[in-house]
Structures are given as C-alpha cells and as structure tokens.
Amino acid sequence: MEGGKGKDGGAPATPPKAHDDVKGELGSPATPNVPITAAAALTTTGPAAPGAPVRQRNIALLQDLDVESKESNIYETKKKTMEDASQIWQRSKKKTEGVRKRWKQLFEEEPNEEPKEEQLKYWKDKLDQASYEEDVALGAYKDARRQCKESDFKPWEEYGDGSQSHTYSDYVSYNMPSKGILFPWKLTKEKMLELKKYYITSEDLEDDVVKSKIWNLLESFADAVKEGNDFSFFIPKRSPDFMDIEPTLAMPMLRRTGKKVKRSFFIKQTRRTTAVTLWVLRTIYDIIEQSAFISPRDLYYRGKWLFKNPAECARIITDICVMLECSTSLLHILPEERGAVLGKAIIRVEEKGIVQEVDCTSGVSIPMDLKKIKNIVLDEKTVCVVVVEKGTMYYYLKANNFAEDQHCLLVTAFGMPDERTRAFVRLLEKKTNVPIFGVTDPDPYGVSIMKTYAKGSVTLCHDNLSLCNITMHWIGICTTEITKLNFQGKTFSFDRCPALKPKERAMLKNLQGSKKYDLSPKWKERISHMMKIGKKACFEDMHSIFGYKYVSTILLPRLIRDVMESIKRYAQTLVL
C-alpha cells in the first residue's frame, strides 16, 4: 500500500503541523495573542485536541468571511457570508469523504495482509482532523444562516421564471433566506441525479419500472435457493442519526451512507421477517400486474396468518418503499379515506379519460389517487389554505362558516397527518399561489403534527422530497399568544390546564434540541415557553372564558391577518 508511505516508501509521512496563528487548543505551538482565522481553521491538518472550542472556531470563520463593505445592505452581506460558509462546508465534507474512502482502501487493497500500525495511525489522524474541520465548517455555516435569518430579509423573492422561494419572517417556520433554496418540483434532472448520489429519495416511477425492481429481487431469491446460497435484504435504517438537512432544499433527507439492517434466512432473528417481506413483494407484484389497488388494511388481512399485527404490515411496506426508493402509491397501496378539504374550490379529477369536477364547498374527502388530479381551481377571493390539526377543530370551524367568512380553504388529516393528506397539501403548495397556514392546539402533539407537515417524519424520511411543505407557516395557537389574550376584560389562565407529562416534555426537548429538523427561532421560542410553564391546552378551553365563537371569529382571523400583513410589509420592501 502506497497511500500512507513517505517518499522513500518506508514509514508514513508525518502529518503537517498546525498553523502557528491558531491558538493552542489544537495541541500545537501558538502565539498567545493572535486571533484565530478562517484560513487556519480550514487548513490545519494536525489532529484536534479533545474539547477544542468549536464555537470559537465557528465565530472566527464567520469573521474571516464577513469582511465585505459594512455600508452595503445587511441582508445581502449576511446572505453572501452564508453562501461562502456553505461552500466551505461542502468542500470540507468532500475532503472528509475522500479521507474516509482512503481509510477503507487500506483494508481492501491487501485483504490478506493487515495494514501497518504507522499507516493506520496516520490515516486515522487525518480522518479525525477532516471530521473536525467539517464540524467547524458546518457550525460556521449554521451560525451564518442564523445571522442571515435575523437580518432584514424578505418573506419571499421572485425568480426570473416566476417561481417563488419563501424565506423567513417571524411567522415563516422553516424556509431559508437564500436564492439557493429550491422548490422540489423545480429540480432539474441533473440536480436530482446529484441528490440521489448522497440521499435515498423516492422517485416518480412507471409501473413497469417498479415491477422490474420487484421481479429482480424475487429472481435473485429464486437463484439463491436453487444454488443453496444465502439471500439477504438490506434495509436502510431510518433514524435521525442518518439524516441531514439538504442545504438547497432546506429539508431533512436520509443519507445513502447510513446504516443498513440485514434480513436473511441464515439469521435466526430475521428469518420470519425475511419470509414475510418476500410474500409482500410477491403480492404487490401481482397487484401491479392486475392494475389494481389495495389498502394496507386489506394487505394485512390477506396475510393475517403471517403478520403479528397491522403495525408490522405497515412497517414492512415502508421498508420495501425505502429499499425500492419509491412511495407507497407507486406500489398500488393506497390508505383508507382519511383527510378532508372544505372551501370554495374545484378539484378536477380525470378517471378513464373523463374529467370530473369535485366541489369542495360542503367538505369532501381528499381524492384517493392524487395522480388523477389534473388541476385545483380556487375561488378568486381565496387568500390562504388553513391546515388544522384535528377533526374537532375542523368541524368546529365548519359549523361556524369559517372557510366562507375568511375566504380560505380548510384541510385536515384528523390527527397525525397520513401520507396522502401531506401529499395533497404539497399539491396545493405547488398548484396554487396562496400561503399555507397551520393551526394546532397549544400542546406537544400539535407541535409534532405541524413539524411533520413542514419538515417530514423519520418513518417516511425517504419520501420527504415528495411530502414536505417547506413554505408552511405555523401561525398558532401557541401558549405564548394565549397568555396575552384579553377579551372584554377576561384573560386566560393555565391553572386548570393539565400539566405536561414526562413523555411530552421529552418530546418537546427532542424537537427543540434536534439538529435534523432545523427549527426556526420562532418555533424554539414557542416550545421553550410551553416547557417553561409546564402546561398544555386545547382550543376548546377558551370557549368557557371568551365564548364559543371567539376562536373562529376573533382569534384565528387576527392570527391570519397578522401574518398576511407581515408578508405584505416585507414584500413592499423587496429589493430585486
């Protein structure tokens, strides 16, 4: 092996020493009063000492990048700083991947011969240092992005092709203040291919392609059995540990280099699950072949003798989707009717060449097969789409004519959003030009539900590209707003509200501390306040204090008006 050797082919080359202008936290000589610079932070090749102040390095990197004219527009300067930091992070990431690849080659070049200890130490040190530099660059990029969000930026920016890229205001939940952020449906083929190199993401495939993928797996199994060999499935593990925020899409995606779970007949613990997975694959193949559709519940009852419970059936379906990199609808598996939509809108659905118009004025179920939706026509007075958390809120607003009075479209999934409702909201995001607002109860489950709409879920992380609604605004209802309510001299008190359970506190803490969802400062502020007071509530709690119609006629209209005015105010100061 030559990668770790010196010029004479003997001992490994000694890693270069750290720059002298870097302070001594890197374990190298340093001049005491010389400030850390970005150049030093990114060119140091010696291994970092444990406990090195990464935050200090991040700040130094930002200072090094932020050297442009201070008289220029603050937002433009901060945005340029963020873009530069992003490029440095990407370069550091590529460098780490290259070193990691070389590290693996040490064991592949001469499999029968153990690598020399000096070579292992040299490349291990390089890998540690490259990983450290990547962490520094990533931290600097996140700091730059946060500073950019806090500057005077606009709620959205117009592109030359007429498309819009939403950014942060106080109410915008997630979206990044940069023209580098793309709508998923605007991605080019080249960008999609680039994404698929690094991330597992579902594609819009034809039936023949899906059938071919399934047939190849079944054929490989048959050949393995015939030859007496082992046959294994390798299922990518879905976990926040293997997810990254994709910078140009501002959404979490599943890394292709993450851990995979092996299922094999030769492993006792996975033998039954392997057999069940094969049965499901064969059943799906037959369903696609017949151009039929099936629900997860029907599939469960077809093989009830195989599954432990319906949850196992759903989990195996998702495993197959991740393995084949497609959505459940492409497997001809459609969930039962669940979501609903209400408002002055017409959904045009094509069935066997005939276009039917579905009037949503009185409220209808979301169409079963979203692929058949050709267009969604909103009333010209419609100003927004309001996604509500649960059925009781939906029926409450329906009974009070909220959609008609406030000129909006109501959508709900009756609880935790299913795949079809999320995809429908995404379709509204794509086909209409109105903002999408989210309304939930001020409790941990409401926060989790809104996070699922806007940023996706771990279970379906492979499908976030198709399901995330990155322009969604979470407008309330939040504990921070309830405490400020004062109507006819009456105020809201949390004294009678239930306390947060330990499980709910843990849920909020995980959401707030997770780096995989990149929550906005506004979200974190609301979550912190809920944890601070230690209470949760629901919108019905306000009926006995402010009156039955208060939420539908005063509170929600005010929240919508505030965010609409915020959007207009920023739009008026838009600098193209």
> Are residues 476 and 529 in contact, defined by beta-carbon separation less than 8 angstroms?
no
Could you say which of 122, 198, 199, 301 is catalytic?
A: 301
Q: Where are the alpha helices (DSSP H) in 23-65?
A: 38-43, 54-65
| Strongest mean pLDDT among 135-139, 248-252, 446-450, 520-524 | 446-450
Q: What are phi and psi of 260, to 5 degrees?
A: -120, 140
> Per-residue pLDDT for 7 more than 70?
no
For residue 375, give both structure tokens. Answer: 């267009």
Average pLDDT, the chain: 75
Which of 228, 323, 229 has the alpha carbon at shortest distance from 273? 323
> Per-residue pLDDT for 178 more than 70?
no
> Per-residue pLDDT for 26 more than 80?
no
Q: Residue 37: pLDDT band by 50, 70, 90 thresholds? A: very low
Q: Is 518 left (phi over 0), alpha (psi -120 to 50) or beta?
A: left
Q: What is the pLDDT of residues 328-377, one digit of tens each?
A: 888 998 877 788 999 999 999 888 778 888 899 989 999 888 888 888 88
> How far is it, in rounded angstroms, from Cα 294 to Cα 333?
5
Q: What is the topology classification, in CATH, of domain 207-331?
A: Arc Repressor Mutant, subunit A (1.10.10)
pLDDT at 569: 67
> How far is it, in rounded angstroms, from Cα 248 to Cα 236?
23
Cα end-to-end distance, the chain, whole Å: 56
Q: What is the pLDDT of residues 380-421, one digit of tens each?
A: 888 889 999 988 999 999 999 999 999 999 999 988 888 889
Q: What are phi and psi of 451, to 5 degrees?
A: -65, -40
Of 13 and 310, the structure prediction assigns the larger pLDDT to 310
Count of CB atoms situated within 10 Å of the CB of 273? 21
Q: What is the pLDDT of residues 188-235, one digit of tens each?
A: 777 777 788 888 888 888 888 999 999 998 888 888 888 888 888 888
Q: What is the pLDDT of residues 133-167, one digit of tens each?
A: 877 777 777 777 766 655 443 333 332 233 333 33
Q: 461-497 as b/e, with b when 16 or more CB fall inside 10 Å? A: bbbbbbbbbbbbbbbbbbbbbbeebeeeeeebebeeb
Question: What's the whole-model pTM score?
Answer: 0.65
Let me know if 122 is a catalytic residue: no
For residue 169, give both structure tokens. Answer: 């205001």
Domain boundaries, the chain: 1-150, 207-331
> Are residues 211 and 287 in contact, defined by beta-carbon separation less than 8 angstroms?
no
**DSSP calls for 348-383:** EEEETTEEEEEE-TT-EEPPS-GGGEEEEEE-TT--
Which of 200, 163, 168, 153 has the alpha carbon at shortest distance from 183? 163
